[in-house]
Structure 1
């Protein structure tokens, strides 16, 4: 049974890669494209060029290393076109399980030493949870409750990089790249997705993006709804309150047009508003199955108007939802969101869509742990984006494959033992994997091709499938192994 599944998977993989080959130009790029994707799917400890060359072409490692290095670092093929093709091939598989519910904005960081890799600077790194030397990329993913897929991905170039001509030249930063804030990059990606006619969904974003009033307004101008995380000090007009109308015209000069505030007409912070809500305003709502039980928390929602600098406006902003989460046992509310979803949306659906943002966290987890998104060791702009594009392409294939592997499908122990796994592989759920999850991957030295070839194969441990979350992760894990067994 496993032999047949693996053979079918390999056949689909070849067809998938063939679909991408048409987008990269020269025919001599077809083999490096295939081999690079295979390398990303192999359970190597590190998915940088040297170890992937050793695994995909052990008899000619040096030549393979040069081929893959040139293909990803210097190849003049379009990331946008390849990502569009990936989307074209994978989107039907995703929407087969339901319409697109969300467009998810986020960014991810890669710890990095030195100052010469493109975009590296001391800035907040989500992987480390603090400020440190790293690269940061902004992405847009489309998602439903079945799966999600990144459709845009771009390096954030800090301001000190945009004015450093020498570093720009050495890393190949295109001449038209200028400084853009992360929200500005995200808005460009959303506009491109809208222009491309992608199935629309509510735009989900955390407070790093949601606090940006211009971004929220621009999303609304595109005809899209959003659920945006905000900070506790965000000010709003509570239900039943509003700013004053413009002053009455005295008959001299221009008639006053701006709305006003006074001592009795002041907005309130969302935290202050939440703390003053009566007990009956809070409801316990469950939204999805978690690792041990259904996830639930206490929420309140109410209709408000955002007050941020509205004294420069001629009228108040439109009403929208304020959603507040206050888990039992916490001294104060923990999360706040603004949303332009319809007024008649049910409380449960509002929470469910808000919490769908967990999909992007799963994307990044699997892109980094299974496909090696953060393992690129080059310094250039082109190589950074080419590697990410191919990681997303490989991840898209895994999304399409996981449905071919039933959660209860038997696995052939003999076949898995024969195939083996490299010594450094850390299966999802193992103590070693847990310890490695927050390591500075980019600071580790890649094993040499020579040392990798000497590794002793090990047997594949049996994976627990105790809950829905683990089953989904295991399907990605199994899809990786199926491809590796064949190739």
Structure 2
């Protein structure tokens, strides 16, 4: 029934079978969720024909990612909202390490998965979330300036003509504007310092009447309570043109948020528990204070609006570890502010499960269309798991049926692999054991996304 809903927006009737097979393959316990292994497990008696069918469907099929993602959210959001209203919109990006330079968008850039600069692709996404679940509703590959301006490479991998260079911030803002236009249930926009430190993005969110909790760097300058810039100079007739700009002098200077945090008294810090984890409560020490940012306010005629500065300083650490700016109301409770800020962890769970359970990072094609089609179908499969999660008890058995045989034919060997090797690309980071933001790799047969016990909303 879920796939039938997707079929209604995917176009030609002859796409229904490969759509069903591709989504099925993404949920089956095969080692990799690239086209060839999925062809083998979904049609073992006609693997070659199935391989061509799925390859054409995902790599060349002229169906709309936007329409499919729209249908996914229409089918899945009711299941998420049964546990409570949407509380947050989360913007972030995820990286896919790659060898070579031919795959669309591959460039030497920061790779969060590796924690350093390396060859990779980067995609920007927007997710909607509450404490029960989250769902990506927009997803787009980032193209560096070198890629966006290279006509030959663009043509080779099929980058659409209307796609030009945009920063990740601009892509994220476009996704947020589209979500507003589509009428998605609104939430507080959450972002890490990679996005939150950009004041233009925060200002644009305020213009869209969206509140935010934005990570910032410790070097961000603000005006502490009771301080601020000097007002514009008084105009004296006959002495030049009047000025409307705020001023600073030696006694009126902003302060870095790190220095402000270190100057707060001991009574400003409170231990707060924000979530019950699977084994222990997640808690830390926090402080908050009302401030105004100081970014280039000497070019303004009035101060920036007052907002919250939230600071995390875990006990035992020499200095604070995280800082956020928030435009949430002045009367919001302290624990509630922390709870919303920490809800950004759901995007990490999204990426973890999309990669581990539905093979988001297993696509092996080079083209723009295939990259986005594969991601769209991974999100569709993930949405199905979210919508079905509540039908399975949290204490359900995590292992597969005892004695269940692999769905791969016994004589199946991926193209180009050694006889003893069961994966065609052993260097493509199958287990990601060294990745800090992901938990240890689970057996593909466990389907942990269905059986994981999630924290209950406060």
- State the TM-score, normalizing by the size of structure 1: 0.85
| Equivalence for 1:52 | 38
| Shift in Å, 1:436 | 3.5
User: Out of 304, 311, 329, which is 1:317 matched to?
Assistant: 304
- Between the aligned partners of 2:395 and 2:155, the Cα distance in structure 1 is 53
| 1:202–1:27 CA distance, 2 compared to 1 (3 A) | same
| 1:60–1:150 CA distance, 2 compared to 1 (3 A) | same
The runs of 5 or more residues in structure 2 that have no matched partner are 411-420, 424-428, 436-442
Tell me, yes or no, if the aligned pair for 1:125 and 1:134 is still in contact at 8 Å.
yes
Tell me, yes or no, if the aligned pair for 2:269 and 2:285 is still in contact at 8 Å.
yes
| Shift in Å, 1:251 | 1.8
- Between the aligned partners of 1:418 and 1:214, the Cα distance in structure 2 is 54
| Equivalence for 1:231 | 217
Q: Give yes or no for the alignment of 1:199 onto 2:181.
A: no
| 1:289–1:212 CA distance, 2 compared to 1 (3 A) | same
| Shift in Å, 1:417 | 2.4
| Equivalence for 1:185 | 171
Query: Which has more helix, going by share of residues?
Result: 1
Q: Give yes or no for the alignment of 1:268 onto 2:250.
A: no
Tell me, yes or no, if the aligned pair for 1:44 and 1:425 is still in contact at 8 Å.
no
| Equivalence for 2:280 | 293
| Equivalence for 2:415 | none
- State the TM-score, normalizing by the size of structure 2: 0.90
| 1:326–1:90 CA distance, 2 compared to 1 (3 A) | same
Q: Give yes or no for the alignment of 1:303 onto 2:285.
A: no
| Equivalence for 1:335 | 322
| Shift in Å, 1:190 | 0.3
| 1:45–1:133 CA distance, 2 compared to 1 (3 A) | same
Tell me, yes or no, if the aligned pair for 1:99 and 1:144 is still in contact at 8 Å.
yes
| 1:434–1:328 CA distance, 2 compared to 1 (3 A) | farther
| Mapping 1:266-415, distance limit 5 Å | 266-409=253-396, 415=401
- Between the aligned partners of 2:63 and 2:407, the Cα distance in structure 1 is 33
Runs of 4+ more than 2 Å apart: 407-413, 415-426, 433-439, 458-463, 468-473
SS in 1 for 2:127: strand
- Between the aligned partners of 1:277 and 1:461, the Cα distance in structure 2 is 48
SS in 2 for 1:23: helix
| Mapping 1:70-109, distance limit 5 Å | 70-109=56-95
Q: Give yes or no for the alignment of 1:31 onto 2:17.
A: yes
- Between the aligned partners of 1:66 and 1:179, the Cα distance in structure 2 is 33
Tell me, yes or no, if the aligned pair for 1:421 and 1:459 is still in contact at 8 Å.
no
| 1:412–1:276 CA distance, 2 compared to 1 (3 A) | closer
| Shift in Å, 1:402 | 1.2
| 1:461–1:396 CA distance, 2 compared to 1 (3 A) | closer
| Shift in Å, 1:250 | 2.1
- Between the aligned partners of 2:399 and 2:379, the Cα distance in structure 1 is 29
CA deviations 1:85-116 (Å, max 9, x no partner) are 00000000000100000000000000001111
Q: How many residues align?
A: 431
Tell me, yes or no, if the aligned pair for 1:17 and 1:34 is still in contact at 8 Å.
yes
User: Out of 129, 142, 149, which is 2:135 matched to?
Assistant: 149
| Shift in Å, 1:22 | 1.2
| Shift in Å, 1:298 | 0.4
User: Out of 224, 227, 246, which is 1:259 matched to?
Assistant: 246
- Between the aligned partners of 2:339 and 2:446, the Cα distance in structure 1 is 35
| Shift in Å, 1:291 | 3.3
- Between the aligned partners of 2:14 and 2:147, the Cα distance in structure 1 is 34
- Between the aligned partners of 2:445 and 2:112, the Cα distance in structure 1 is 31
